[in-house]
Structure 1
Amino acid sequence: MASTAVVDGSSDPNQRRNQLLFWGCFASLIATAFGFQVRAMLMETWGTEFNIDKTQQGEIFGAGLWPFAISIILLSFVIDRIGYGKAMILAGICHITQAVMLWKADGYDMLYWGSIIGALGNGTIEAVINPVVATMFPRQKTKWLAILHAGWPGGLVIAGLLFMGVATKDADGNITNYTTIVMLTLVPVIIYALMLLGRTFPVQERVQAGVSFKEMLQEPGILSWSIAVVLVVLEVGRVFELSTTMKLVAIAALIIPFAAYVQKLGRPVFFLMCLIMCPLATTELGTDSWITPLMTGEMNVAGINPGWLLVYTSLIMMVLRFFAGPIVHALSPLKLLAISAGLAAAGLYSLGSVSGFGLIFAVATLYGFGKTFFWPATLGVISEQFPKSGALGINMIAGIGMLSVGTLGAAWLGYVQDVDTSEKLQADHPAVYEKTVAGAEPKEFLGLIEYRSVDDSKATDTEKETITSVQDGSKKQVLKTATVLPIVMCVAYLMLMMYFTSQGGYKTVELTTGGQEETAAAASEETAADTMSVDTDAGSFGDDT
């Protein structure tokens, strides 16, 4: 069994291969961002082309997120057995299928199911790259996970610039060559496939240390697993229109056998981090999904493509994550998360309050700084505090985040906009309300709450102008409403900081041979080139062993 030393900056041929592996993982994350960006940019066009309302648009955004969680969590149970290379092949197939379905889409159904398949590929990507990078850099997990996840905003920036540069629009502002833009999502897929072809992946640190499969499951335990199960069943139940009884049966069938085998509730801090991940993912990803359509009115007034706002905040994230080392060295992950939540809350509320080019980009800067370290710092906390949880732990927390925003967050943002628009029309324009909302077919949010959205198919041009004006105001109200999420997160992080202080401070937990844990202070920048033995029999992309 071969062994290689992971030493940052080494001229050893093995290290150069490891660098190619890291950057191949980075490129695969860029591919996931391309799929996200194509929905963010084309949703308004699809809405007009296929008569898709705001809540349905939110469901399509959600479909691009929640299946991620199913693949990332389920694959984490078996990824160490089937090999990371085979998993990456599956991801590539999913990404190609998504592009074809979105290219050939003729309505809501193909957009929805194409997004689901793409999200399954995205989850497979992260099921591989998160544990691989955490294993390669065991004493610098938060730093290198932050650099890895610079690929996400980096992909948003590249895709945004590329798509806006290629796009052509009609007189109404709808993109006419959207099929060309969809096919451009295949470019990073081809790149990561070529970079990872023949690469050998390391054995995950949990496996190297001899931690058993059962011990891995006991770290998240019954409580955290229950969160994931409930969120999965809620969304799958909505898609397949399952009855409440069927949902309860499915939840019991997934939780009871797990509980009988694991026999532990799980680590309390892990459970709390899972709960926090729900508003965190909606704050970052849910709002990112909506940031372009939400700010369309304001940006059009300023004469600027609204896509620039997401490109700009993503550029901030990319730069900060690339240079995460000094920041992570100065602040513990929890302090970083608390500060980030405060900045994100201020940024979101301000985005919903200000007007004009200069002010919008000023507060967007604040929001960009706030959301930058949410995802990598959370993964860092889990991998640093619960190394026994292995691939499952780091991927379960990511999966729960995607589940929550895909199942609840993105659709909730669309629901808030639809309801706010209806209420304002009823209060200020009752005649328009009676014609376009009151008689519309009732819909249900999450299959529980009935509401009606605007149907302007019978509205006059003047009435449509009124509706558009009201909807622009509702879009900004959505951002203000979303501010409550990072506020809750900030309070939770402060509580966790107090807990760790009472335990002697935040320290990284490391695994030793035999699966024993020991704490160690975070590595300094001088020891950034952490050295470890990485077994390389976990399989290779296109050539699994």
Structure 2
Amino acid sequence: MQKTIQTNKLFVASCLSLLVTSLSFGIRAGILNDQAVRFHLDASELGTIAATAFWGFPLAIIVGGFIVDIIGMKKLLVFAFIFHLLGIVLTIFANGYWTLFASTLLIGIANGTVEATCNPLVASLFTDNKTTKLNHFHLWFPAGIVIGTLVVFGLDSMLAHGISPKPYWISQVEIGVMLIPTLIYGYLFSKLEFPVTERVASGVSTGDMYKALFNPLFGFMILCMFGTAITELFTNQWMDVLFKTVTNNAILILTFVASVQVLGRAFASPIVHKLAPQGVLFISAILSALGIYLLINLHGDAIFLGAIIFGLGVAFFWPCMIGFVAENLPRTGAVGLNLMGGAGMFAVSLYMIFMGGHYDQLTLKYLPAGADLGSYLKAADGTPMAQALAQAKSQAGPDVLHATLIIPIMLIVAFGGLVLYMRSRKKATMAAA
């Protein structure tokens, strides 16, 4: 009984720490344009700042994966709490590009440390039901995005009163909301005792764990993780930027996507048990590609249908990728789980930087010949230059999504092959038995 209570408390605290991670994505996505206006940032600079979280994340998750068995999960989560606290406070008092860069890096390191610790923690707590519980754990990522985007939307509606641009202190209040769950999860983890990881408990040596990382199937899953992470996280993080000129409530598109993700992960158990992780991933790739296609081609309120389809597509990507490795390659241990997450975030960081510059170039293409993008970015609202910039961005956004659509189409092929491979492997195992 005591063990069950301890397990449940650890799981709740883990979910709260992931909530902070996701709030950082949801709230930042909601204030990205405000920061651009406040500090006169172009899309390339915005892309670099947003990507910084994705640099810190893989750095922390990969390093954390290698040391979690050495220093223990509790100490790593103390570090996560400290970095979250510092990053949030620095974001509130940011005064330009470099302070935003540094604060985002700190939050990224904290986010990666949470992921590095809590994925193996959940797998260790629920050894007989890993993929389902990882889906339940990871539902707090889109849940935090829903909460974060609604916080931004709600406070904007209540406090800005139609003022354009809105006062930046409102954005600071919105960022400060993240302090509440940060302090709660820091307190909870400080009071709880942690188990050893599943790999240690099962007696798999460190040497055997490293050997398992060279399994070709693991390498294949790493490559697929690049695609699933970019499809989900790049599109979500840039939703407000890409659709700001398409609808007045662009951030609500992200809210729709994240809400569908929450529901999908909450009711993942029968789907995962029926189709297995690889089957779910195959269907997810199809829906993701269809969702992006609809986001490009639908207009007005109909665009929210595309958001729902896209949300269904990306709902299971991250937890089922982690769950597949936990179930089928358990000897890779915490390092294997964390290399998966780190690879995904690293891919997103590179893609964001590339697409930030590409978005600027596309925007310039739709501006008058010889235009200086910096001058247009500084133009006051309502001026002809500002109106021309908004029109150029509305044309450039779909081009960015067109380029991204290629990725889930490739994943359809990859996961289709994975389904066939796992089916043949199962038949071979049954025949041998």
1:435 matched to which residue of 2? 371
Distance in 2 of aligned mates of 1:121 and 1:483: 30
Distance in 2 of aligned mates of 1:175 and 1:293: 19
Alignment of 1:98-497 (within 5 A): 98-167=87-156, 168-169=159-160, 171-176=163-168, 177-220=170-213, 266-300=214-248, 305-357=249-301, 359-406=302-349, 408-425=350-367, 429-430=368-369, 434-437=370-373, 455-457=376-378, 461-497=383-419
Residues 458 and 18 of structure 1: CA distance in aligned 2, closer, same or farther (over 3 Å) = closer
Contact 1:65/1:119 (<8 A) preserved: yes
Distance in 1 of aligned mates of 2:294 and 2:358: 18
Deviation at 1:420, TM superposition (A): 1.4
* Residue deviations 1:291-331 (CA, integer Å, cap 9, x gap): 1121111212xxxx222111121111111111111111111
2:69 matched to which residue of 1? 80
1:247 matched to which residue of 2? none
Relative to its length, the structure with more helix (as a share) is 2
Secondary structure at the residue paired with 2:245?
Answer: helix
1:504 matched to which residue of 2? 426
Distance in 2 of aligned mates of 1:435 and 1:21: 55
Deviation at 1:457, TM superposition (A): 4.2
Distance in 1 of aligned mates of 2:3 and 2:379: 67
Deviation at 1:138, TM superposition (A): 1.7
Distance in 1 of aligned mates of 2:2 and 2:378: 64
Deviation at 1:396, TM superposition (A): 0.6
Secondary structure at the residue paired with 1:298?
Answer: coil
Distance in 1 of aligned mates of 2:30 and 2:251: 7
Distance in 2 of aligned mates of 1:53 and 1:488: 31
Contact 1:500/1:506 (<8 A) preserved: no
Distance in 2 of aligned mates of 1:162 and 1:458: 28
Choose from 10, 18, 21 the match for 1:29.
18
Distance in 1 of aligned mates of 2:94 and 2:127: 44
Structure 1: which 5+ runs fail to align? Answer: 1-11, 221-265, 441-453, 508-518, 521-545
Contact 1:60/1:112 (<8 A) preserved: yes
Query: Which letter does structure 2 place at the counterpart of 1:284?
Result: E
CA RMSD of aligned residues (A): 2.0
Deviation at 1:173, TM superposition (A): 4.1
Deviation at 1:455, TM superposition (A): 4.8
Give the TM-score normalised by the residue count of structure 2: 0.94
The structure number with the bigger radius of gyration is 1
Contact 1:340/1:369 (<8 A) preserved: yes
Contact 1:72/1:396 (<8 A) preserved: yes
Query: Which letter does structure 2 place at the counterpart of 1:465?
Result: Q
Query: Which letter does structure 2 place at the counterpart of 1:93?
Result: I
Choose from 50, 57, 60 the match for 2:39.
50
Deviation at 1:186, TM superposition (A): 0.7
Distance in 2 of aligned mates of 1:179 and 1:62: 21
1:252 matched to which residue of 2? none
Query: Which letter does structure 2 place at the counterpart of 1:188?
Result: P
Residues 386 and 175 of structure 1: CA distance in aligned 2, closer, same or farther (over 3 Å) = farther
Distance in 1 of aligned mates of 2:408 and 2:379: 40
Contact 1:42/1:175 (<8 A) preserved: no
1:231 matched to which residue of 2? none
Give the TM-score normalised by the residue count of structure 1: 0.75
Residues 273 and 194 of structure 1: CA distance in aligned 2, closer, same or farther (over 3 Å) = same
Contact 2:139/2:261 (<8 A) preserved: yes
Contact 2:72/2:196 (<8 A) preserved: no
Query: Which letter does structure 1 place at the counterpart of 2:125?
Result: M
Secondary structure at the residue paired with 1:210?
Answer: coil
Distance in 2 of aligned mates of 1:326 and 1:457: 52
Deviation at 1:477, TM superposition (A): 2.1
Distance in 2 of aligned mates of 1:143 and 1:41: 30
Distance in 1 of aligned mates of 2:327 and 2:220: 15
Secondary structure at the residue paired with 2:196?
Answer: coil
Deviation at 1:506, TM superposition (A): 10
Distance in 2 of aligned mates of 1:349 and 1:412: 21
Distance in 1 of aligned mates of 2:73 and 2:89: 25
Contact 2:155/2:174 (<8 A) preserved: yes
Contact 2:364/2:371 (<8 A) preserved: no
Contact 1:44/1:174 (<8 A) preserved: no
Distance in 2 of aligned mates of 1:379 and 1:327: 16
Deviation at 1:456, TM superposition (A): 4.3
Distance in 2 of aligned mates of 1:456 and 1:206: 52
Deviation at 1:134, TM superposition (A): 0.7
Contact 1:332/1:506 (<8 A) preserved: no
Distance in 2 of aligned mates of 1:414 and 1:399: 21
Deviation at 1:23, TM superposition (A): 1.0
Deviation at 1:344, TM superposition (A): 0.5
Distance in 1 of aligned mates of 2:87 and 2:194: 26
Choose from 53, 68, 86 the match for 1:64.
53
Distance in 2 of aligned mates of 1:25 and 1:203: 15
Structure 2: which 5+ runs fail to align? Answer: none
Deviation at 1:196, TM superposition (A): 2.3
Which segment is superposed worse, 494-503 or 318-327?
494-503
Distance in 1 of aligned mates of 2:133 and 2:423: 25
Residues 13 and 51 of structure 1: CA distance in aligned 2, closer, same or farther (over 3 Å) = same
